[in-house]
Amino acid sequence: MRELSGKRPLVHTEFQGQEVILKGYSVDAATEAKVLERATQYHKAWSGSKEHCGLLPVLFLFFGKFDPLAYVMVPYCPFGSLRRVQATHPFTASEVPNVMKGVAAGLQALHSSSITHGSLHPNNVLVLNREQGVIGDYDFTKTADQRSITTWMVAGNISLAAPEVKKGQTTSPSSDMYAYGCLLLWLNFPNHKFITKADGVPDTGELDMDPDLRSLLSKLLTCKDRLVSAEVLEEDYFLHTDVVAEAECADTMKPEESHTEASQDC
């Protein structure tokens, strides 16, 4: 693994009969304990959620004994990210609710465990069979604020950073929900050139959209009192959609035995 991760940041390989992605991160004495703590919190959020498919599980976490490296192993998702799917074969209006329902479930699992994702963007949301959105793991070497400072926090010409974060405030579950609303807007109008209003929110006034979608977006793309993830799942936009059950999701994403292992003998 040391040889593989030294060649590329991400390595697609096979481990114990399962296709996986191996990620290598540089760590030091100060960050090693934080990496283990954050990965453990993430794993507990995944294992304690009612719907595992909302979060990408961490299969293994390894620390090098002689090298200042940490290796995170996660399942490989063949359909790729939102950005990839939207660029090659854009989602239809009927597919978007199913995909984003899974993302909301993943956020609910994280926020219920007092975890702010901080880097919810089109490259970090994966898609199963064009029907299930899955939130990807994040860089455990960084805080939520550090993860939010990235060029990836954009979808189309929409900035995913909440207005308060742009003003210097810390990231929060609420800023995750703002990013969620922006992704939902982008998936429905991928080619629209949005104008930002004075309050920092995209202007959607002239768009022709479903009333339930407009109502939901108005409660997410706002500067205060945003919906929390559990409330999002109760919105008419999702309740009026026939969500296809993902029978293959557990087999694809759920590890058979131990989900997270920490080892000092990489």
pLDDT (tens digit per residue) in 168-190: 999 999 999 999 999 999 999 99
CA atoms within 13 A on the CB side of 224: 0
Q: Collapsing DSSP states into helix, strand and coil, what is residue 174?
A: helix
pLDDT band at 144 (very low <50, low <70, confident <90, very high): very high
State yes or no: pLDDT of 151 exceeds 90.
no
- Are the beta carbons of 75 and 59 closer than 8 angstroms? yes
- Are the beta carbons of 93 and 188 closer than 8 angstroms? yes
Most confident of 126-135, 178-187, 243-252: 178-187
The domain made up of 2-77 has a fold known as Phosphorylase Kinase; domain 1 (3.30.200)
State yes or no: pLDDT of 255 exceeds 80.
no
What are the backbone angles phi and psi of residue 39, rounded to the nearest 5°?
-65, -40
Between 7 and 230, whose confidence is greater? 230
Arithmetic mean of pLDDT, 163-167: 95
What homologous superfamily does CATH list for 82-239? Transferase(Phosphotransferase) domain 1 (1.10.510.10)
- CA distance linking residue 47 with residue 250, whole number of Å: 12
Closest by alpha carbon to 78, among 129, 17, 138, 36? 129
Rg (CA), the chain: 18
Numbered ranges of CATH 3.30.200.20 in the chain: 2-77
53 class by beta-carbon count within 10 Å (0-12 exposed, 13-18 middle, 19+ buried): buried
- Are the beta carbons of 188 and 96 closer than 8 angstroms? yes
Arithmetic mean of pLDDT, 28-55: 86
Residue 95's CB is within 10 A of a number of other CB atoms, namely 17
Q: Tell me what pLDDT residue 241 has.
A: 61
pLDDT tens profile 42-93: 999 998 876 556 999 999 998 877 778 888 999 998 888 999 999 999 999 9
Residues 6+ apart with CB under 8 A from 134: 53, 54, 55, 56, 77, 102, 103, 106, 125, 126, 127, 128, 253
**Dihedral angle computed from the Cα positions of residues 169, 145, 45 and 130, in that order, rounded to the nearest 10 degrees:** 100
pLDDT tens profile 203-231: 999 899 999 999 999 999 999 899 999 99
- Are the beta carbons of 103 and 55 closer than 8 angstroms? no
Q: What is the mean pLDDT of the chain?
A: 86
DSSP states along 77-121 = -TT-BHHHHHHHSPPPTTTHHHHHHHHHHHHHHHHHTT------S
**Residues, the chain:** 266
Numbered ranges of CATH 1.10.510.10 in the chain: 82-239
The bridge status of strand 125-128 relative to strand 132-135 is antiparallel
